[in-house]
Each structure stands twice: as C-alpha cells, then as structure tokens.
Amino acid sequence: MTFEPDVIVVGAGLAGLVATHELVKAGRRVLVLDQENRANLGGQAFWSLGGLMFVDSPEQRRLGVKDSYELALRDWLDSAGFDREDEDHWARKWAEAYVRFAATEKRQYLRDLGLRVTPMVGWAERGGGAAGGHGNSVPRFHLTWGTGPEVVRVFAEPVLDGERRGLVRFAFRHQVDELVVEDGAAVGVRGTVLVPSEEERGHKSSREKAGEFELRAKAVLVSSGGIGHNHELVRRNWPVERLGPVPTTMIPGVPAHVDGRMIAITETAGANVVNRDRMWHYTEGIHNWDPIWPDHAIRIIPGPSSLWFDATGQRLPAPNFPGFDTNGSLKTILATGHDYSWFVLTQTILEKEFMLSGSEQNPDITGKDLRQTLVARASGGAPGPVDAFKQHGVDFVVAQDVPTLVEGMNKLSRGPRIDAAELARQIVARDLEVGNPYSKDLQLMAVANARRFIGDRVARVVKPHRFLDPAHGPLIAVRLNILTRKTLGGVQTTLDSQAVRDDGSPFPGLYAAGEVAGFGGGGVHGYNALEGTFLGGCIFSGRAAGRAMARAVG
C-alpha cells in the first residue's frame, strides 16, 4: 500500500466518519480501517432512530418549551451522578462542554452539512419524579428527518468525496489486534486481514483469517464502538450492587460486530479504561420477528399510558412509568428475581403511543417521504411496523378480555403464573380513576402533565380512557425483555479526545472517540443518559478528535 496516511482511524462508524470529515477539511490524509465490509459504513448509527438532543432550539421554542443551558446542565449533572474523583475527572468536563455544544453550535453545525429535524420534539427519559433528580425537565429529543441513515449520510458524503480526491483510503475487513507503540507514542496498528465478505449491512460476517497487516501513521484514532452484542462482557461488567442480578435472558439491540474488543486492545497499549460498570440497557426489548442480525431485538419507545406489571403480575411502583427512568425501572424489575416484565395496554394506546426504535422500523421518516409520513401518522390505526409486531411478534398477546389475555401471558412466562383476578383488580382500580380530570394515581397525573405539552397531546399521548372499555379494545400485553445497547464507560480522554494513561498524562499519538470512549472522557453520561445524546456524543467527540489530530499531525 503506497498511501502514506497522516492518521489511522480504527472503526468506520459515526465517530470515525466525523473525525475523518474534519481531517479531510484540514487537508490531512486518512486511512480508515474496519473489520466489516463497505456495506457497513456508518456502523451502528445507521440503524438508529436518529435522535439528537438540542437545547433551546427553534423547534422547542415554537412548541412553547422554555429551555436553557443552565437547565440542561443541571438535568445532565443530576442524572449523571458523577461520584468518582479520578474516573469522572474528564467526564464532568465533557458533560459541561457537550451541553454547551448542544445549546450553541450543534444545530448549525449539522444544518450546514444538510441535516434537518422534524418539527415535533419528543420528551424522552422524563425522570424519577424529583426536580433535582434524574431526567429531562423539558422535551429535548429532536428526530432527524431521515433517521440514522441521514445522520450517517451527511458525514459519509464528504468523506467519500475525500476518497475520490485521494485524501482518504478505506481498508475494510481489516481487524486490528494490536496498537503499535514506540517511545511511548502510538504510531500504528497491527492486525488480521479477514476473508472478503459480501454480507449485507448488519449481517454477521466471517472472522476467517486471510492475512496480516501492519500500518503506520502520525496518530491513531480508536472509534470502534461498545460492547452491546458481547453478552459475555456485559455480564462480566454488570453492576450487581447497583442494578441487581445479571439477567439470565438478554437480547441484543445492536449488530454482532459491536463486540467491544478494541477497548481491551487499547487498554493493553497503555490507555486508561474507566467506568466499566456503567451501561445503558433497555427494559422494553422485544424479539424481532424479521431479524437482520443474530438475535436481533427492537426497543419499544413508549408513551406514558401503558400499565407496567412485573413478572408476578403486580404493577410496578411509581414512578416506574413507561419512558421515565430506564435504570430505575431496570433495578425494580430485577429486584423481583425475574428478568422480564409486561406492558398491558389497549389498541388505542398502541396506535398513538408505540414507536419502535430503529431506522428500518420507521420507513416513512427514514425515507424522508413527507406524504407517506403524514398519511401514516394521521390515518388512524397503528403504524405498519408496529402492527406487524402485533400480528407476528412472539412477545405480543391480543385478547378481548382479561382472562384470555392472562392465559396468553402465562404461555409466554419465563417465571410465575399471573393471576387473572388480581390483574383485573388492578386494571379496574386504575379505570375508576379516569372518571375525573384529577386523580390520586401518579401515572394518570403524569399523563395529564404530558398532555399539557402540545407535542405530546397532538402526536404522542392518548386521552385517558378505561382499559376495559370495548371501544378502545382489544387488550394487548407485551412481554418486555432486557435489551443490551450502550456502553457508558470506556477509554478516558481529554477534551481533545486524546487518550489518557493510568497516571493521568495524555497518551501521545492516541485518540478515542464515540462509544469506545464512553462518548467522551470515559463516560460523559455518568450513570444515566438523557437520550438523544449517543449520536450527539459520537459527533462531538469525533469532531474534537478530528480537529485535534489535524493540528497535531500538521
């Protein structure tokens, strides 16, 4: 290979593309390595819903949302709960810098690349019920028009243009096994050339060896993602004391190539890896009836109205409501001694409040088809992909009455049998509260609060109704599984995305960005994420890395 790069980028996911884009703008030569084939350019981000957190955006202001850097930073720090002096040193600085980015440059930076968002702002991760606790005080979740593929496109296109101009080379099916360090500085990589693969995007590929390589550059960026599909690593790092016992059954919400192997490789080279026990896994996972990768799972992004029951058939205690506190609900579910739970809802709720995470599950928005989007969202009935899961998903039970519903739930149970009379009692108790515009039921209070926001009232949250009213039927139960997704810890980095050694000193020539770096600093989210922040973390840390490396190798 005669191409002599200034920088080697390990991982062609979003963070790697962003960094490469910045390097190309600066006129630097970049070699991008990835263990997958070209079809997987953009990595895991391609499959995402494309959620982005902006603060005090025009979209928020048009909907009457009053947001600010100060409010967003308070929410972030209260949610993060940084409590480790050394491991959180850079993470806290990253948090302050990222929230400032979200409140200032971020939106225009992306608009200049051609990215647009939908006019509705979502209220994700609504929190644990206290002003000074975890959660978003206001709606901040901006949905990309085009979802994940569009986020990838706006960075991939200028990088591919750089390839045409001779500034970028890709080496796909190159699996890095070692970072080359000389005189204390990273100067290259060694690894395995894998046999060619013609697999479609997301499909599992062979790890058969075809050769070896050693490549050198003035700087190396590791942007290889997290551990989400590597359940062995998830189990090994699971925070039992904080979240409860390791789930027996977990389903992966990311492709098989999200294996986390570069984290250990980077640590072996001398970088400091921190906050291994911080993870972000979802409680609303369902098996995909039409899978792309092995054990492909999807997350339900729910509105707040479904009733949530544990495996024994008892309603989860407040404030464990759908879409409120991911880790809090995960801990509550695992404390029962079981690793699954249930949503019980009506057809009316399904039609308006169920959204499925994933670009492929939202073809109208992903395809940027305005007519299809308006028709699909306004024509009544459940969105096509949601209805398909209702019809074909192994986790769904549909029935006209509670006894028949419970009979179906017990057939899917991985634990105790649910008592139909007890489930009916709890549903009736909730239904009796609907007769007045006020209630002692905290979930109904939360629904009323949500409907005060025009975005939720129009597009996301149904008017409260009785579950046992046949006009809103049939009844639906959904078995919810633990879905593995994000790594919140990783390689510790400075604000330039430069890797840090165990002694706190910068690692010459070595940088890390995206999920492998805990989305910045070795864990910018702390213990909890506010959502719409993972793609943003890849963008912000990738941008910082690209600009810093451009200066360093110039």
Mean pLDDT in the chain?
Answer: 96
Separation between Cα atoms, residue 96 and residue 76, nearest integer Å: 9
Give mean pLDDT, residues 143-169. Answer: 98
Alpha carbons 71 and 304: distance in angstroms, whole number: 23
Contact 31, 9 (CB under 8 A): yes
Q: Read off the pLDDT band of 341 (50, 70, 90).
A: very high
Contact by Cβ (8 Å): 128, 324: yes
Structure tokens at 108: 């225009």
CB 16 within 8 A of CB 222: no
Q: Which fold has domain 7-225+488-553?
A: FAD/NAD(P)-binding domain (3.50.50)
> pLDDT at position 554, please?
87
What string of DSSP letters covers 524-536? TTTT---SS-HHH
Tokens representing residue 437 in the block = 């515009």
Q: Quick one: which of 342, 346, 328, 461 has its CA closest to 400? A: 346
Average pLDDT score over residue span 135-159 = 98
Q: What is the pLDDT of residue 381?
A: 86
What is the mean predicted confidence (pLDDT) over 75-98?
98
Q: What is the mean pLDDT of residues 102-118?
A: 98
Count Cβ atoms within 10 A of the Cβ of residue 295 and give its class: 0-12 exposed, 13-18 middle, 19 or more buried.
middle
> CA 53 to CA 424: how far, in whole Å?
39
* Beta-ladder partners of 278: none
pLDDT in tens, 31-46: 999 999 999 999 999 9
Question: Of 290-294, 303-307, 341-345, 502-506, where does mean pLDDT reach its minimum?
Answer: 290-294
The percent of residues in the chain predicted with pLDDT above 70, rounded, is 99
Going by pLDDT thresholds of 50, 70 and 90, the confidence category of residue 124 is very high
Contact 79, 50 (CB under 8 A): no
Q: Output the pTM of the full model.
A: 0.97
Burial annotation 347-376 (CB, 10 A radius, 16+ → b, else e)? bbbbbbbbbbbbbbbbbbbbeeeeeebeeb
Three-state secondary-structure class, residue 499: strand
Helix, strand, or coil here: 164? helix
Tell me the C-alpha distance between 469 and 346, whole Å.
9
pLDDT tens column, 450-475:
999 999 999 999 999 999 999 999 99
Task: Give pLDDT, residue 373.
Answer: 77
Where do the structural domains in the chain lie, given as residue ranges? Answer: 7-225+488-553, 281-483
Q: Which of 193-197, 291-295, 386-390 has the lowest mean pLDDT?
A: 291-295
Question: What's the whole-number mean pLDDT along residues 416-426?
Answer: 98
The type of residue at 44 is Q
Query: Which residue matches tokens 């039921």?
Result: 441
Supply the pLDDT for residue 374: 74
Residue 1 has pLDDT above 60, yes or no: no
Q: Kindly tell me if the per-residue pLDDT of 303 is higher than 60.
A: yes
- Summarised one tens digit per residue, pLDDT across range 359-402 is 999 999 999 988 777 776 666 789 999 999 999 999 999 999 99
Tell me which architecture the domain covering 281-483 has in CATH: Alpha-Beta Complex (3.90)
Tokens of 83: 């409590």
To 5 degrees, how large is the angle CA 213–CA 29–CA 552?
100
Kindly state the tokens that stand for 326: 């991911």
